[in-house]
């Protein structure tokens, strides 16, 4: 590995009991949105929830993560694949980037196939505004199935 990047992860509060298994696996294997860190070691410096709609913990979490050295904050895949997907993703991303000058990536682990199937059936992501939010985690089918 050539260098190290410090990251933080913010998950949807609906999944506040999540142990982070899929995110941590993807981080280790460089799957999903973590595939952009090809030859870079990753260090997790923060993992928390948004604190529920409309994201009361976003400001505090961003501040703490940046104080701990976060260079990139990932908004977890759960914000995209939940039912319904988070209506505040774009606001969270814009706020964190502007307030803390940190890069924000939407997504962590690959979208599990079962979620892709359901959202395709429901037409959730038909609007073009969702394309940049699902693109980083839209892996091949075998990878998506392995995250079901």
Please say if the pLDDT value at position 2 is more than 90. no
Q: What is the pTM of this model?
A: 0.94
Q: Which domain holds residue 105?
A: 3-146
Tell me the C-alpha to C-alpha distance, in Å, between residue 104 and each of 1, 74, 87, 99. 22, 6, 16, 12
- 3-state SS class at 132: helix
pLDDT at res. 76: 98
Please say if the pLDDT value at position 1 is more than 90. no
pLDDT at res. 133: 93
The number of distinct structural domains making up the chain is 1
Q: How far apart are alpha carbons 78 and 15 in whole angstroms?
A: 8
- 3-state SS class at 109: coil
CATH number assigned to the domain comprising residue 8: 3.40.50
Percentage of residues of the chain with pLDDT beyond 70: 99
């Amino acid at each position: 590995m050539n260098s190290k990047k410090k990251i933080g992860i913010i998950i949807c509060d609906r999944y506040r009991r999540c142990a982070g298994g899929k995110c941590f696996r993807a981080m280790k294997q460089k799957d999903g949105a973590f595939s952009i860190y090809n030859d870079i070691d990753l260090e997790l410096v923060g993992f928390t929830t948004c604190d529920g709609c409309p994201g009361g913990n976003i400001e505090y979490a961003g501040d703490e993560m940046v104080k701990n050295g976060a260079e990139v904050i990932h908004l977890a895949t759960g914000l995209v694949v939940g039912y319904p997907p988070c209506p505040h993703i774009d606001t969270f991303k814009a706020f964190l980037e502007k307030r803390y000058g940190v890069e924000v990536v939407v997504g962590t682990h690959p979208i599990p196939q079962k979620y892709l199937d359901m959202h395709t059936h429901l037409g959730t992501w038909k609007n073009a505004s969702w394309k940049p939010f699902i693109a980083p985690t839209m892996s091949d089918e075998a990878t998506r199935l392995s995250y079901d």
